[in-house]
Each structure stands twice: as C-alpha cells, then as structure tokens.
Structure 1
C-alpha cells in the first residue's frame, strides 16, 4: 500500500529532508510504503508492502536523533540471490545535507532474502524483527558507525519510500473526451439532475453505492456533491486521512436542493473502506446485503462478523426502492499502479457479486490533480493529459470495466470556495450514475 500527499499514515521524514532526497535522486516523488511503528518491525510486514515496488529508499531514525538509511534501485522479491546494484548507496545527514556512501566496486549491494532490509551483508535494519539496526561489519560500504548513527542501534522508526518518476508533462493532440468547461454547462447539468425522475414509478430516489479502499475519497465525493447543491463547500460526511476507514457505519446521504430545499432524486450510500487483509475493512457479505437493500442506515460494520439476515426485524425482501441501483468504485489515481494483488482480488470478488445481481458499475478515479502535474496546474487539462489517459486505461484493465465507465474527478478537499472545473467533472460523473441507474431500472424484471 502506498501513501501520498494526503498521507494515510504520517511520514516521519521532515519535508526539508524529503526535498533533499528528491533533488538527489532526480525528478522523483517519494511515496510512503512501509512504516515500522505502524505495520510492525517484522520481516513479513516489510515484504508485504515493499516487495516488487521498484526503487526504494529506506530511512531510519534512532533515539539519538540520527537520520540514516539506504537506497536500492532493484526490487525486493525474496529471490535468495545476491544483488548487484551499482546505484545503491547508504546515507546519513550532516546538518541538512545527506551524505551518500556508494557501494564499493566488486561487492554485492544486498542479499534479496526473506529477512528484513539489509545492505551489503553489513548493515541490518529491524534486525531479528526488533526495532534495532545491527552493524555486522564488512567491506561493501565504507562507513563509520559513530558518524553515521552515533553508535546508537536503537530505532524509534524505520520507513521505506517508493521512488516514483514524476510523469512527463505531455498532452494529446486533441481532447480524448469532449467536455464544455463553461458556466452554462454547469448550470445545464445542475438543472438536469434536479429535474431527474427515475424510470420506475415505484422508485422516488435512486440509490448509488460507493465502494473503495480506505482513503480513496468516497465520503469526500458525497461532501463535494453536497457542496455544489448547497452553494458552498461542506463537510457533512466524515472524511480525512487515516490508516483505517473513518466510515464505520453504513450511511445513506440525501442531498437537498439548497439548505432549505427538497431532497434531490438520488441517495449516495457510503460504506466502510476496503482493506487488503482479511478481517479488516468492509466484508464482501456485507456488500451483498447492502445491494439487496437489507442493511439499515447507520448499521455499524463489524469487519470480523458480517451482517446476519436474522438481525432483521422482518424477513420479507426489500422493495425495489431500497435496493442499490448503481455501484461506484472509488479509486485513488495516485495508487493505481501500487494496488496490491489481495485488494485487486477483493474488488474482483465484489464485481462478481454485483454482476450476479445485474447492477451497473462505474469507476470514479479521484485525486487526478495529485497524479499529474499538468492537471494540478489546470484541472481543465484532465482530458488532454496523456498520463491521466493511461491511468484510466490501467483502471479499466485492472477492474475489468470499459474505459467509458472510468470517470476522472477531483473532490473538494482543501478548497474554501466552489470551482467551476471541479463542479463540471463532479456533476458529469453524477449524471452518468443516474443514467446507469435508469439502465438498471429499465432492465429490471416486472415481477418486482
């Protein structure tokens, strides 16, 4: 799992030192993969998050205030092989400046085994699954333990960062999707949504279910849509940065046409975040019950005990209006490439369940501004950004949905005022959700 600008786990690396490393390593970003005080000092925890992640930077902090560590350009894979890596180096700080110690000629940079991180069979971090660094001595790197870490082997933290190249700023010759970035288009979308009526007369408001990993922006999407129709930025649903889901209940949110207005014809349903490990985050069986309209508003999720049908006061099946009419997967654009196989399997299991019930599905790709510098500079360039286009295609491939069902958006997060470009993207996405809900209602059996 990767952590980026809105860190789900706070980074110990000071901003100034982080900038020094970015300058040292070139046009790169550092994304937190592993934090020992949170994930554990044991080797399996390290490998679970750091294997097959490409170049990485390990940063250790000891009780004497020293910051030191090492860089390797070769993946951790637990191959058992000796690794030759001429780009590898150890480092420590002299004041604000990182001092690099390159690998000596003819030596291996490290052994790619199942133990904790080490360099040159010389310096071992989280040694024996403990918060310590152990210097075995050796000739791979020429280091002085007193200068490097004050001979203090007791660690108070150990972090591993993925080194990511900042994508080149490139644009398509013409937009790969046509979006009018005008006030008129915004007002047209607002009017269409306000006047929307579900195809099925027995349904007053369609129900849209938001599903996604912790921190992807499910609650933030509701807050953003609510902000547009309220007329200013709101924060009704709990949203923020955390290592675990801030949403612990099943919540159904209505959006009103203005502060004193009537409810609009849709309901956004928020769920607990998905997590890769079993017994944590939202359970697939809970999702099945939600889809069938069996879980009540404000039901408190229990990751180790899914909802039991016997908990219902009534055994009758839910009405069509109580069922879910469209499922939206919320995926962070900055974390697509680092999505773990376990999380991908979980999403595949959910998609299989949703498919079996015939519910249409859309992917909301959030944080597009954080993923691409071009879009961060101007959100209206989202559909001429080659990088965002490749991310849309990657999401499509990983989740098994058509490219046309992947919608890039930017939620309101740090803004104090509404923004035309944000609104157009968000309202366009909502309009597609309502269209998909109508497709479901149009196809539903008359027996309902």
Structure 2
C-alpha cells in the first residue's frame, strides 16, 4: 500500500505539535483508505502510544482529540489528565482540556472515543456522536459547527521529536558544494609566505578516529575509500609514531596546503598513551616525522631526534581534538583533566583549536538514517554544547569518517571538507595574530 497522505496543513500540524512539546505526528489510519470501521482503526492504532484523532466535515471544520494512553480495547475507563479536544478556527487552534480525567475516554472496541462526549466512526459509519458537557467542556457548534457527517477521519501516532524544525547550523548538501569545498582547500594559500602548508595536530583518546580522519580526507581526493594510516579498534593506541600526512589533490596531483599530524592516542592511566610533554614539543615543531613515542620517557632536548630549529613551517597552526560522540557522556574525569592540561599549553601558544565530533551516526539513530539530519538533531546539538563546555573549546564540528564503506558518500564528504575549511580559516586567524610579532623580527 502506498504511503498515506495527511489532510492536515503544515500550519495545523505545527500548532498541534506545539501543544504537546517536541513531538512529530505519524499518520496511522485514514478512513477514506482503510474504511470507516472501528476494527480497521484498532488494527492500525492499538498499542501505538499517544495518539491524535482528527475529523473533517463538509462545513470546513477540522477538529478532534488527543490521548496520551494507548488504545488496547480493555473495556475500561481511562484516566488521562493530559487528554483534550481541539478545533481549528480562522487558522488558530482552540483547546478544550478534559474536566474529569478519570473518564477521559472508554477503551472499548468502538472507534476513537473521548469520555461520553465525542465518538468518531459512530456505528461504523462516517459520522460522529456528540454530547458535550460530561467530561469535556465545549460547545458543539464551536467544535464542529453541528455538522456530524465526516468527510475524513485520521489518527496520528504522537512520537517524540528528535529532529528540530530548523537546523542549528546551516549547511548545503549539493554535489556542487562538495566540489566548491575541494577547490577551496586545493587553492588555499597561507597568509605567511614562509609557510607552505598548514599543520593541524590531531589529539584524542584511543579509537576516537584520528587516523580515520586523515584516511577519510585522503579518500575524498583519491575518489575512493583508502586506508593509508593505520586505523581500527583496539584497547591501546594503534598509532605509535608521530606521523605527518600530506594529502594530494589527486593520485598524481600536487600536495594540498594542509598537513594532518597524527599522534598516539590519549589514555587515562599515568605512563600510558601520549605524554603531554610530547604534545608541547610537537606544538613547537621539535618532533620529527615517524618519531616513535615512549609514554614513559617523552622526547628530551638533548635527544638526537629532537629538532631544535622549530621554525614556523614545522610548528602546529591548529589543534583538533578528535572525540567519539558515543563516549562523551562517559568521559572520565582523568581524561578530562588531560585535555584541560593540553588546552592550557595550546592556549599559552595562542594556537586555535577545534573539536571533531566523530561517529555522529552511531550516536543518533536519525543521523544514522540520514547524515543530513546531523544539524537537525537536538541530541547532537546538546552533545556539541556539552563537549564544548567540558573541553573548553567553542568550535565543534560533527563528522563521519569512512570506516566500513566501500564507496564515497556526498554527505560524509561535505561534513569532512567543511571541517578542513574551518581549520584553514582558524590558521589564518593565527597568522593574523602573529604577523605583527614576525614583522618586528624582520
């Protein structure tokens, strides 16, 4: 059977939802399709939770009732103090709350019934039965114009709304936007001539997706999913070396003006994972590519591998904290303390910072259903606020890395590329800030 089409206007649906909070309506039953029969109604609407019944008549009235308690044909009176009747007049909705909630409706085998006041599908027909004043206070003429003949009857399931009416951040999802972002990154030039490539340091717990982020950006420019950097799931960090990854504009193309620096994962326990002193050395440009981390003994200034020059070209120009959105709520205080200590060092050097919020599709089922719901999800929005406060970094960028996919996906690409563009913009801000200082040294 084809999808049902609602007779409610978008404005009417919005007003009904506004009465109930953050909800959405899902059409279960439509009398013109399923028949004006009580058993047809129950077949589709029993045990579906809260519902709204909407009647339409030839006089142009749109009216009905809401009940929070599911239909189950128990034969009992239902106590529901949230129940109400409603009608639309002049584009506005009028609500008539239940006056005696103990008898808000009878849960029997008839059609939708509200107390003894309003019956839909009366005697299995396209009519209503109306006797105001028993358990709801309303005027019949106001509710439905004294027209008892139905032209349509619909029943909607009321679902908790996990999507916002407007996105909390505007983004374009067209293929042209992906191409525009790719070109913008490819043609970017740092504001300072002595720097040819922006260096972004990726910091985060084990398994958050640092290496996968590089692989994902590399995949976009290669045109297929790649796995150059070691990534996967493990209890300890799969990355044991400091790696600087350059992305090429194509397989045989020129390097992009950005270097993604991958580090060993942060771990909670002392003497495990990336040491904060090593991070300080990386920020200053003193750690060479492929340096093997030793959590128990960070790189020292007298070590032969220590790069003493630390020129601006080799320093870090933006820091990205890579955090798993599925683990934000269970982030330990020890890990939070480590991130705070790192942020303090980064702040002292004036380096801009962002948060990459990974695995957003695993955190929210509606984002898993369609990645373009990421900025419509109040769950992801609240999570972004939470992690921003806990880490102390305002800019939070949701992304979905490539992991098990075999082909590229437009929505994933746009989120990933948008994150890279934001890093480049922040690096520009950093160069703007240090330019006067460099000028004094010339």
Any idea what SS the aligned residue of 2:354 has? strand
Asked whether 1:223 is paired with 2:215, we answer yes
Asked whether 1:284 is paired with 2:263, we answer no
Question: Cα–Cα, structure 1 residues 398 and 168, in superposed 2: closer, same or farther, change >3 Å?
Answer: farther
CA deviation map 1:307-343 (0-9, x unaligned): 1111146774311100000000000000001000000
Do the aligned partners of 1:169 and 1:374 also contact (CA within 8 Å) in 2? no
Computing the radius of gyration from Cα coordinates, the structure with the larger value is 2
Any residues of structure 2 matched to 1:19-418 within 5 Å, and which? Answer: 170-312=162-304, 316-402=308-394, 405-418=395-408
Any idea what SS the aligned residue of 2:356 has? strand
Asked whether 1:422 is paired with 2:412, we answer yes
Question: Cα–Cα, structure 1 residues 423 and 333, in superposed 2: closer, same or farther, change >3 Å?
Answer: same
Asked whether 1:432 is paired with 2:426, we answer no
RMSD across aligned positions (CA)? 1.4
Alignment match, 1:78: none
Q: CA deviation at 1:168?
A: 5.9
Structure 2, unpaired ranges of 5+: 1-158
Alignment match, 1:20: none
Do the aligned partners of 1:216 and 1:331 also contact (CA within 8 Å) in 2? yes
Do the aligned partners of 2:286 and 2:306 also contact (CA within 8 Å) in 1? no
Equivalent-residue separation in structure 1 for 2:275 and 2:382 (angstroms): 30
Alignment match, 2:135: none
Q: CA deviation at 1:393?
A: 0.5
Equivalent-residue separation in structure 2 for 1:392 and 1:168 (angstroms): 21
Q: CA deviation at 1:441?
A: 1.2
Equivalent-residue separation in structure 2 for 1:426 and 1:222 (angstroms): 10
Question: Cα–Cα, structure 1 residues 281 and 313, in superposed 2: closer, same or farther, change >3 Å?
Answer: closer
Q: CA deviation at 1:173?
A: 1.5
Equivalent-residue separation in structure 1 for 2:307 and 2:314 (angstroms): 14
Any idea what SS the aligned residue of 2:329 has? coil
Do the aligned partners of 1:169 and 1:373 also contact (CA within 8 Å) in 2? no
Alignment match, 1:443: 433
Alignment match, 1:154: none
Equivalent-residue separation in structure 2 for 1:428 and 1:195 (angstroms): 15
Do the aligned partners of 2:320 and 2:354 also contact (CA within 8 Å) in 1? yes
Question: Cα–Cα, structure 1 residues 321 and 389, in superposed 2: closer, same or farther, change >3 Å?
Answer: same
Any idea what SS the aligned residue of 2:321 has? strand
Do the aligned partners of 1:366 and 1:411 also contact (CA within 8 Å) in 2? yes
Q: CA deviation at 1:438?
A: 1.0
Equivalent-residue separation in structure 2 for 1:362 and 1:308 (angstroms): 28
Do the aligned partners of 1:211 and 1:329 also contact (CA within 8 Å) in 2? yes
Equivalent-residue separation in structure 2 for 1:394 and 1:210 (angstroms): 20
Q: CA deviation at 1:217?
A: 0.2
